[in-house]
Amino acid sequence: MNDTLISHGTPADKARIVAYEMARNSLEGTYTHGINRFARLVRSVDSGTIVPSAEPELVASCGAMSRYEGHMGFGIINAIFAMDRAIDLASEHGIGLVSLAHSNHWLRAATYGYRALERGCAAICFTNTTNNMPAWGATDSRLGNNPFVMAFPRKNGQHMIVDSAMSQFSYGALEVARLAGKQMSVAAGFDKNGNITTDPSAVLETRRPLSAGYWKGAAMSFMIDIFSSCLSGGFPVADIAEQKEESALSQVFIAIDYRKIVGEDEADRIAERAIEYLKGSTKAEGTKEIVYPGERMMRVREENLREGIPVDERVWSEILSL
């Protein structure tokens, strides 16, 4: 992947980071935003949507906040840069916020949460997307699913992190279920009669996927779009929807060096208490285990480190042909 990126015009330092992070996304179980997405990323470089040599540029800065222009560079490169800057600001001020305009898809949202966790900071970050989800009460998609991350570190490295899009299911998940002839586990969207359904085919036909929590996820999505675009001076979903492909996204990265106001041991003890309490829940029939956010990922990572990263043969052939 590194070599392919270089042969398509990516500077070596950037190619290494993008290849590493996409491999890591698959290693940690986010296959859809890992190796599976690599061929599409290279096509975006070829089409000019991604400018492979672009560097983020400082637009404005004040105290613990900085605003950057992404110049349509790699989403991963820009977002890592932005979270690293937010962490630097947090080292100085306790908390740091960096906003980023006109960047590309950052792939796995959790990547930037882990970036902060691995430097001992908590993080909140989010991005807007193209229009892929209807407003509450609407039939056409004018909201993004706008992934949102909250991450808090633990001393033992078993970090807590939620990486959640504002739709109940992604289009990718709906398509996988449709091909397998399966129903979704819970309500997934609206059918052509305007009824809520678990049938992926019906939702793919209407293009009316359900926002997570109905009106709640729709409202959160809108506010994430407002924060992302207004804090960066970048595009809201309304403008991203007019691009040829999903690009020119707006993002916000907040890092919190909590150790400046709470002892690391003190916070760790509180987290252990919360985890122990949660995991001691009475399990419903059919539940094997109650997990905290981020726990499952650690297991997939360990399994894939031990047994190798599963990669679809067709995906790999396509990458080799690039």
* Residues 25-54 interacting with its own copies (rule: CB under 8 A): none
Tell me the closest approach of the beta carbon of residue 212 to its own copies, in angstroms.
3
Do the Cβ atoms of 206 and 192 come closer than 8 Å?
Answer: yes
Do the Cβ atoms of 199 and 188 come closer than 8 Å?
Answer: yes
Measured distance CA(43)–CA(60) in Å, rounded: 32
Tell me the closest approach of the beta carbon of residue 26 to its own copies, in angstroms.
22
Neighbours of 144 (CB within 10 A): 27
Measured distance CA(41)–CA(76) in Å, rounded: 11
Instruction: Tell me which residue has tokens 């403008």.
Output: 239
| Whether residue 33 lies in the annotated active site | yes
In this chain, which of 72, 267, 297, 309 binds its own copies, going by CB under 8 A? 267
Tell me the closest approach of the beta carbon of residue 74 to its own copies, in angstroms.
23
Query: Please, which of residues 175-194 interact with its own copies by CB under 8 A?
Result: 186-187, 190, 194
Query: Please, which of residues 210-239 interact with its own copies by CB under 8 A?
Result: 212-214, 216-217, 219-220, 222-227, 229-234, 236-239
DSSP string, 34-89: TGGGHHHHHHHHHHTSS-TT---EEEEEETTEEEEE-TT--HHHHHHHHHHHHHHH
Site size toward its own copies (CB under 8 A) is 92
Tell me the closest approach of the beta carbon of residue 308 to its own copies, in angstroms.
28
Residue 322 is encoded by which pair of tokens?
A: 């690039």
In this chain, which of 27, 42, 76, 97 binds its own copies, going by CB under 8 A? 97
Convert residues 279-298 into a mask of x (bound to its own copies by CB under 8 A) and - (unbound). Answer: -xxxxxxxx-xx-xx-----
In this chain, which of 3, 47, 182, 274 binds its own copies, going by CB under 8 A? 274
Query: Please, which of residues 130-149 interact with its own copies by CB under 8 A?
Result: 134-140, 142-143
* 254 lies in the binding site for its own copies (CB under 8 A): yes
Instruction: Tell me which residue has tokens 């939702």.
Output: 203
